Structure 1
Amino acid sequence: MNRIDSLKIHQVELIKKYKSLVEQAYNFRQTDSALSDISEYRAIKLLNKLNRLKYLHREQQQKAV
């Protein structure tokens, strides 16, 4: 498995986790605002990581071409 495939697989896993955290934050919004804020914070951190991975993935694709 090359580097591009590895980045893509990791990106897909992080997207699933991000969606789960956003949904969890939404569900906790009415019952426990502190847990909602924590889930939202984790989702934002994951989104930042996803954006960096997207940049690396794009950079690797340009080198491969």
Structure 2
Amino acid sequence: MNKLDNIETHKKRLCKRYKELIEQAYNFRQTDSALSDISEYRAIKLLDKLNRLKYLARENSHVHLNKI
């Protein structure tokens, strides 16, 4: 498995976890605002990681295209 495949796999896993955290934050909003805030904070941190991975994937795809 090459580096781009690893990045894509990791992105999919993080995206799934991000969606779970956002849903959890939404569900906690009415019952426990502190837990909602914590879930939302974790989701934001994951979103930052996802954005960095998207950038990495883009950079690596340009490198692969230049080698061809």
Query: After TM superposition, is the score higher than 0.5?
Result: yes
Q: Distance in 1 between matches of 2:64 and 2:12?
A: 21
What percent identity do the matched residue pairs reach?
68
| Structure 1 segments unaligned to the other structure (5+ residues) | none
* Equivalence for 1:26: 26
1:13-52 map, 5 Å: 13-52=13-52
Task: Name which one, 1 or 2, has greater alpha-carbon Rg.
Answer: 2
Q: Distance in 1 between matches of 2:60 and 2:13?
A: 19
Question: After the TM superposition, which parts of structure 1 deviate over 3 Å for at least 4 consecutive aligned residues?
Answer: none
So what's the TM-score if we normalise by structure 1? 0.99
TM-superposed deviation, 1:5: 0.3
TM-superposed deviation, 1:7: 0.3
So what's the TM-score if we normalise by structure 2? 0.95
The Cα RMSD (Å) is 0.3
Aligned residue pair count: 65
